Chain A
Amino acid sequence: MLMVETQSAVSIDRLSVVFERDDGTRVQALRDVSLDIGEGEFVCVLGRSGHGKTTLLNVVAGLIPSYSGDVRVLGKPVKAPGVDRGVIFQKDAVFPWMRVEDNVAFGLRVSGMPKPERLRVAREHLDLVGLRNVPRAWPRELSGGMRARVAVAGVFASDPPILLADEPFGALDYVTRRQLQDVLLSLWERTGKTIMFVTHDVDEALRLATRVIVVSNGSVVEDQAVDLPMPRSDDALATPRGLELRHLLLHHIGLE
């Protein structure tokens, strides 16, 4: 492995998850997954629909307590959600009953920060994602892309050391998605957080990640460092090394 690790942010050892459906059939969503993510890494979890990406992320987030195996975050076993892990969900989770700035400030409010201060922080982060003008809007008045920005601003405002993102840009158009990828990258570079980012898009993974994990049928089938310099322009991804990585990943998710 490429990284010289000081401490692992997330360490997963022989993780398995079995779901039981209502009709009694069982699904093995994850099978014997072992994984170590160092501090400051930007890891993309790549895989096709229904192959266990969300399940993996949710276990780390503490949202699925009934797993078998050993999962630790910053050395502590995961039993429940915690403020050391911020999550951006696959579904739109912006609270419709809170104004945009209150949504961004939600984590700070929960942690007990006084109102003027947390609103100041929230506005700073709205600035960073390019939503300076709509702090008092209701979420229903925003577009899908703007709501995705609110979600990004929200987790960064709470400033957790580890960020878990589940296809946060999955529903967006190409241009918006590219813009938000840049926003995310710049925030990552500023803050040095550990990021675990789920996606089914090979190009997105190549643009963002320092390392790509490919999940197939509940198992990790590939663990690949992406040794391309940042920031990665389209041209950088079209170099022989970029294309090679792209082919490799496409191969592992079942194409080519």
Chain B
Amino acid sequence: MASRRERLVSVASGIGVFVALVLLWELLSRIVTATGSYDEPLVPGWGYLWSNSLLRMADYWDGSLGIPSTVEGDPPTYAAAILALGKASLITFQRVLIGLVAGVVVGVGLGVLVSMSSLARRLLAPSVHILRMTPFLAMIPLFNLWFGAATIGIILFVAYGVGVIMFIGAINAVGNVPRVYFDRAATAGAGLATRYRLIVMPAIVPELRASLLLSIGLAWSLVVAGELLGAQEGLGVIVIYALQFAYTGRVMIIAFLFILYAGISFALVEAVSRWFIRWHHQTT
């Protein structure tokens, strides 16, 4: 275990590293002054990001709530920019959340169900392997074709990716439950349903949690990818618009937001789910 002093050092150096990166970027922006098409600097400095790229997010505000849109010729405001980002974030976030929950519930449910029969497990193993090895990201166009490029298609895409990962995670987790626990439950008179409720379900939580934490990064990746390829609204769509005019700064701002959201949701789920494995010997 790290001592308090050591932890302090690592936190301090972490902050130091990020400050250094921020400064390095600024330096780079001063050196590389090349611009792309539409006069956008290829390496926008922090000042440009703040005063231009962020402000210009107002372009994506539709003018409701009495905050004027730039489409009518009004000057961009930070209020409109924040509102535009907030609205797009909410749409994206909702897709991640619903997709993640659906994928986890269906994946774990099916995984536990399949693990009841060794024949079913072995029969399904090739299919599962094929689905696992078929790159999710290559399948976006198929999902767009099947379910449309709107919200429902993206949610299903996220749910599918997360579902496959959680399904495999659940089967492995059930397989790793020590046999002696089942034997003890059986000799205490527990039937199949009780064994699943009182043994399997709690015993697989630590491993499922690892799969879940993996799934969060995956869910954000899938939502980014889904939105970049043909959604109508959401954070990724702002990137598509910005790409058309080579607005590097705006792409960077959205990228930062994705990184921030993914990091926060990861940390949140990690902290909250820790409660469920407080019985486990390594609660990290």
A and B assemble together = yes
Contact A140–B184 (Cβ < 8 Å): no
With A83-B188, A110-B188, A111-B189 already in contact, the answer to whether A93 and B279 are too (CB < 8 A) is no
A156 at the interface (CB under 8 A from B): no
Contact B183–A97 (Cβ < 8 Å): no
A207 at the interface (CB under 8 A from B): no
With A111-B189, A138-B278, A138-B279 already in contact, the answer to whether A93 and B184 are too (CB < 8 A) is yes
B190 at the interface (CB under 8 A from A): yes
CA distance A93 to B185 in the complex (A): 9
Contact A91–B186 (Cβ < 8 Å): no
Q: Which bracket fits the contact residues of A?
A: 20 to 34
Contact B187–A139 (Cβ < 8 Å): no
With A91-B180, A93-B181, A97-B202 already in contact, the answer to whether A62 and B187 are too (CB < 8 A) is yes
Cross-interface CB contact of A63 among B178, B187, B198, B278, cutoff 8 Å? B187
Using Cβ atoms and an 8 Å threshold, which residues of chain A touch B199?
A: 95
CA distance A96 to B278 in the complex (A): 10
Shortest Cβ distance from residue B230 to the other chain A in the assembled complex, whole angstroms: 45
B235 at the interface (CB under 8 A from A): no
Using Cβ atoms and an 8 Å threshold, which residues of chain B touch A92?
A: 180
A194 at the interface (CB under 8 A from B): no
A55 at the interface (CB under 8 A from B): no
Most buried by B among A87, A97, A110, A158: A97
CA distance A194 to B115 in the complex (A): 37
Show 19 A/B contacts (Cβ-Cβ < 8 Å), sorted by A: A81-B187, A81-B189, A89-B180, A91-B178, A96-B280, A96-B281, A97-B202, A98-B202, A106-B185, A106-B188, A107-B188, A110-B188, A110-B189, A110-B190, A110-B194, A110-B198, A140-B279, A140-B280, A140-B281
Q: Across the interface, name the chain A residue whose C-beta is closest to B188.
A: A107
Shortest Cβ distance from residue B253 to the other chain A in the assembled complex, whole angstroms: 44
CA distance A219 to B189 in the complex (A): 30
Given contacts A95-B203, A97-B202, 7 further A-B contacts (CB under 8 A): A82-B189, A83-B188, A93-B181, A95-B181, A106-B188, A110-B185, A158-B188
Cross-interface CB contact of B198 among A86, A89, A106, A140, cutoff 8 Å? A106
Q: Which 8 A-B pairs have the closest CB atoms?
A: A97-B202, A83-B189, A107-B188, A87-B187, A93-B184, A81-B186, A81-B187, A93-B180
A61 at the interface (CB under 8 A from B): yes
CA distance A96 to B199 in the complex (A): 10
A85 at the interface (CB under 8 A from B): yes
Shortest Cβ distance from residue A139 to the other chain B in the assembled complex, whole angstroms: 7
Using Cβ atoms and an 8 Å threshold, which residues of chain B touch A61?
A: 183, 187
Interface residues of B in 132-185 (CB under 8 A from A): 178, 180-181, 183-185
CA distance A97 to B279 in the complex (A): 5
Interface residues of B in 195-215 (CB under 8 A from A): 198-199, 202-203, 205
Using Cβ atoms and an 8 Å threshold, which residues of chain B touch A85?
A: 187
Contact A63–B205 (Cβ < 8 Å): no
Q: Across the interface, name the chain B residue whose C-beta is closest to A103.
A: B184
CA distance A96 to B189 in the complex (A): 19
Shortest Cβ distance from residue A48 to the other chain B in the assembled complex, whole angstroms: 22
Most buried by A among B189, B279, B281: B189
Shortest Cβ distance from residue A146 to the other chain B in the assembled complex, whole angstroms: 15
Most buried by A among B183, B187, B279: B187
Interface residues of B in 231-280 (CB under 8 A from A): 278-280
Shortest Cβ distance from residue A171 to the other chain B in the assembled complex, whole angstroms: 14
Using Cβ atoms and an 8 Å threshold, which residues of chain B touch A98?
A: 202, 279
Shortest Cβ distance from residue A193 to the other chain B in the assembled complex, whole angstroms: 15
CA distance A95 to B178 in the complex (A): 10
Contact B205–A93 (Cβ < 8 Å): no
Contact B187–A97 (Cβ < 8 Å): no
CA distance A80 to B195 in the complex (A): 15
Using Cβ atoms and an 8 Å threshold, which residues of chain A touch B185?
A: 106, 110
Using Cβ atoms and an 8 Å threshold, which residues of chain B touch A106?
A: 185, 188, 198
CA distance A63 to B184 in the complex (A): 10
CA distance A96 to B279 in the complex (A): 6
CA distance A93 to B179 in the complex (A): 9
